[in-house]
Amino acid sequence: MDNAQRISGVLSPVVTPFKADLSPDLERFVRQCRWLLSQNVGLAAFGTNSEANSLSVEERIELLERLVGAGLDTARMMPGTGCCALPDTVRLTAHAVKLGCAGALMLPPFYYKGLSDDGLFRSFAEVIERVGEARLRVYLYHIPPVAQVPITLGVVERLLKAYPAQTAGMKDSSGDWNNTKAFLDAFAKSGFDVFAGSETFLLRNMRGGGAGCISATANVNPGPIARLFDAWQAADADAQQARLDDIRGSFAKFPMIPALKAAIAHYGHDAPWATVRPPLVALTAEQAKALVAELEQKTFAMPGLAGR
């Protein structure tokens, strides 16, 4: 697999639907993923916004198998596979590769804090060695506000040296453009694909040599975000970015995951979508109403969602 064939563009950390008993709703999940693909958005299933860390390894395996079984394109899939425990990460990553997924989005082991670069390098190296697949493409997931364990320039440098084919890129959810720029400047030219952690930085990331973005709000505003990826060199790119930022701003006023689900429930006429797993809490009826009122004012829409 050369770099030209690597996954790029806009990906969604697909929100995971739950039934009333809090078990994953496999059918709604497949329908949602199919809709996202129809909007030209790829599937970074099992990201932070997927409540992936509230799912067991077995649940993730079952959900991914259901997508593949439904005939969805594995070339557009970059499932999250990074867990606290080495054997879990190895198992999920090997499974994703076996199913033919384009990549694996890998959190660092995130329980123990203050890790050394050496420990972090060894963690990723052990996964790559144990999976033992030439076609594995690892995307390191840097999200210090949540994981509290950062991915450093030094760790990426060591991984690129030891595993140049497998060390494919990263998602930067630091929320700090200077950090994204530092990784772009250091590694983009050597074929390391940097995805911004939200569309807020999509245009800057593309101008800086990045590969796209993986964003929470790609769950609800997929088409327009994917359009900016396609048209980032167009004359109206900055205006497109401003419109994306405006929509994102409405979601950012609420807890993000419950807000995404509330919007899907509302615009999809599908109330069960609002369900979240503990420790998260769904929006109150008042919050959901306020979110929708604000989106209506901005003539926001989710085309094709209701009929999916």
Q: Which of 1, 239, 271, 281 binds a copy of itself (CB under 8 A)?
A: 281
CA atoms of 132 and 216, how far apart (whole Å): 31
Q: Is 74 an active-site residue?
A: no
Determine the 3-state secondary structure of 78 from DSSP. Answer: coil
**Residue among 4, 20, 71, 113 that touches a copy of itself (CB under 8 A):** 113
Decide: 221 and 247 in contact? Cβ < 8 Å.
Answer: yes
Is residue 141 annotated as part of the catalytic site, yes or no? yes
Give catalytic status of residue 139 as yes or no. Answer: no
Distance between CA atoms of residues 236 and 257, nearest Å = 30
- Answer yes or no: 267 catalytic: no
Longest dimension (CA), the chain: 52
Residue 111 interacting with a copy of itself (CB under 8 A):
yes
CB of 168 to a copy of itself, least distance (A): 20
User: Near a copy of itself by CB under 8 A, which window of 27-35, 65-73, 187-195, 273-281?
Assistant: 273-281
State the residue for tokens 């990784």: 183
Q: Report CA Rg, the chain.
A: 18
User: In the window 117-156, what residues touch a copy of itself (CB under 8 A)?
Assistant: 118-120, 122-123, 126, 145-149
Question: HEC profile for 7-64?
Answer: CCEEEECCCCCECCCCCECHHHHHHHHHHHHHCCCEECCCCHHHCHHHCCHHHHHHHH
Nearer to a copy of itself, 107 or 226 (CB): 107
42 or 47: whose CB is closer to a copy of itself?
47
| 82 vs 210 by CB, closer to a copy of itself | 82
Beta-strand ranges (E) seen in 143-239 are 167-172, 193-196, 212-214
The distance of closest approach from Cβ of residue 47 to a copy of itself in the complex, given in angstroms and rounded to an integer, is: 11
Based on the shown chain and the rule CB under 8 A, indicate whether residue 116 belongs to the binding site for a copy of itself.
Answer: yes
The conformation of residue 80, written as its DSSP 8-state character, comes to B
Q: Indicate the DSSP class of residue 114.
A: S
Shorter beta-carbon distance to a copy of itself: residue 108 or 169:
108
Residues 45-104 that bind a copy of itself (CB under 8 A): 48, 53-59, 84-88, 91
- Catalytic site positions: 48, 111, 141, 171
Which residues of the shown chain bind a copy of itself in the complex (CB under 8 A)?
22, 48, 53-59, 84-88, 91, 108-113, 115-116, 118-120, 122-123, 126, 145-149, 277-281
